[in-house]
Amino acid sequence: MCGIVGYIGYRPAAEVLVDGLRRLEYRGYDSAGVACTNNIRLEVAKSAGRLDNLVKELAKRPLEGQSGIAHTRWATHGAPTDINAHPHTDCTGTIGVVHNGIIENYLELKAWLIEKGHKFSSETDSEILAHLIEEFAVSSVGGGSGDAHGARLYKALTKALSVVSGSYALVVLDQHQPDLLLAARQDSPLIIGLGEGENFLASDMPAIIKYTRRMMVLEDGDVAVVGREKVMVQKLDGLPVERHLFIVDWDPGRTEKEGYDHFMLKEIHEQPAALRAALAGRVGFDTGGKHLPKLEQVLPASVAAACREAVFVAAGTAYHAGYLGREWWRRWTDLPVQAELASEFRYHHPHLDRHSLVVIVSQSGETADTLAALREAKRRGAVTLAVTNVVGSSVAREADYVLYTQAGPEIAVASTKAYTSQLACLALTGIYIASTRGEMDQNRAAALLGELLALNGVMREMIPRLEPEVREVAVEWGRTADVYYIGRGLDYPLAMEGQLKLKEISYIHAEALAAGELKHGTLALITEGTPVVALATQPQLFDKMVSNIKEVKARGAEVLLLTGENNRHRPLVDVADKVIYLPEVDPDLMPIIAAVPLQLLAYYAAVNRGCDVDHPRNLAKSVTVE
């Protein structure tokens, strides 16, 4: 994994490919490469490290041609080196391949190919694809036209795919056939962009949206032949298929920084607009003028009524959103509700049936563990609802129902606006289910919906007011080794999200605890000057939180307290070293706005430490391998 771009058309291919890779940097990577052909030779350039290293290499040795492939790699097999970077080529150097995914039986295939006389250059599993295509193409080699060569190449690719086990999104470039690219997909996303006299391939839409809005998503088992003027898609058995063409309505400018220093900061500031978009058209009024949820088109009322349990399944930040969703739904409905880590879900032997609603939460819709959990839930007969940001993604296509968060493109690896949009959608869905089942009073539902709709305005006012305060704390804590986050009730999953943000972009070790657990071990780690972030947004738990804060203060902790404006009258000078007061909204919805200062704290701590905020080391935006 991580990012794929392919181009065939009339432009200089290398320029288009590098531009596409630049737009995929948010996915995270450790090396990059490009291959182009001009019918005379296939040329490859690749470099470990940042994309700028590849750009410097291309400045010294430009690649010619109007067709090519490119890749940013995040190492899974082999170290992040020039040699292990994609594209990989066969023994003759005439067939180039870029690949996302994992070839599970590559060791056996590599041994077989070595016996056949193939010599390998890299440590990767991906290189075997180029050699397999070469091996199967040689077995049917002969004279003839370019079309005949293209047919042999296609047959060689399909034969190669028939012997590999694992996941792949791949694009093949051949020196002798510069007028076509071959592509295939299995359990890893791949998109075709349709232009005029040119066509594109990419693992994610931002790579090519500058050039075309007409997109086609390949499905598992698809093999595509992409020329300048036409595209043909078949299944591995040769059966032709048609894939839905859709128009992407994103503004390409939304994938640019627009004056912000980093995409993450831009996306933090975009959250008010993202919240509004998440709820747009999904809240209406009853005959008495009260707010009511309008999700019948997303999840039929009959499904909500038949539900006897709900399970949230997700990974990373999306899991924290699902955890909050669990707490909300437990409060608002009479359903038993669980939250599971996607990577562990299959091993817990879940007892599901047709009355189980499994809610799959994923920003990208391509997270491998989450997709596997979705398939396990469907295998066990559960009804599945996907909550995702990416139209046409794998979870969106495979789930029974889908609710798009409508947050727009999120470029930074650390999720911000997608997270709060997920929260808004999960809250809305919980209110809808509770109302549909008669488990929430109509007045309570209307009041919650009204506050949910107002959050974008509250957040828009709050961000510029709190940002300087948070920045000040982040600068003070920038060189600390450890930070602890504590909270109770709804604030506990919020603490989990806060600590994840801090450690993933600033590389500061952070830990989240249910505050009542401090005395069961972690209190031993609190010493003079240890930073502690205390979350106290729930009025009924405030006094208990103050007791926990005093426990850490007694051990010398330096405490940042986040709480509501209603506590401004309290004498908190002796409780916390710094207090950030949040606008008062319904306590159930406080975690949505309280997420923002935690994001800002992580952002400014990372900036102060000189970290690569948008592309943290060893991490990828879309984790498409298990």
Q: Which pTM was predicted?
A: 0.70
pLDDT score at 76: 67
Strand order in the sheet with 168-174: 88-89, 95-100, 168-174, 181-186, 222-226, 231-235
pLDDT score at 618: 81
Q: How many CB atoms lie within 10 A of CB 436?
A: 21
d(CA 100, CA 121): 18
Strand order in the sheet with 309-314: 337-341, 309-314, 356-362, 383-388, 401-404
At 539, list the tokens. 């009025």
pLDDT score at 151: 86
DSSP for 160-209, written as a single string:
HHHH--B-EEEEEEETT-TT-EEEEEESS--EEEE-SS-EEEESSGGGTT
Per the annotation, the verdict on 544 as an active-site residue is no
pLDDT tens digits, one per residue of 255-308: 667 678 999 999 999 999 899 889 988 888 776 667 878 899 899 999 999 999
d(CA 158, CA 152): 10
Enumerate residue ranges in the chain where pLDDT < 70. Answer: 1, 26-28, 76, 139-149, 250-256, 258, 287-289, 620-626
* From 110, 417, 503, 621, the catalytic residue: 621
Per the annotation, the verdict on 2 as an active-site residue is yes
Torsion of CA 598, 601, 607, 612, to 10 degrees: -20
* From 2, 91, 307, 611, the catalytic residue: 2
- Domains annotated for the chain, with CATH where assigned, are 2-250 (3.60.20.10), 263-608 (3.40.50.10490)
d(CA 510, CA 622): 23
At 67, list the tokens. 């067709």
d(CA 292, CA 56): 57
At 600, list the tokens. 């800002």
d(CA 186, CA 366): 12
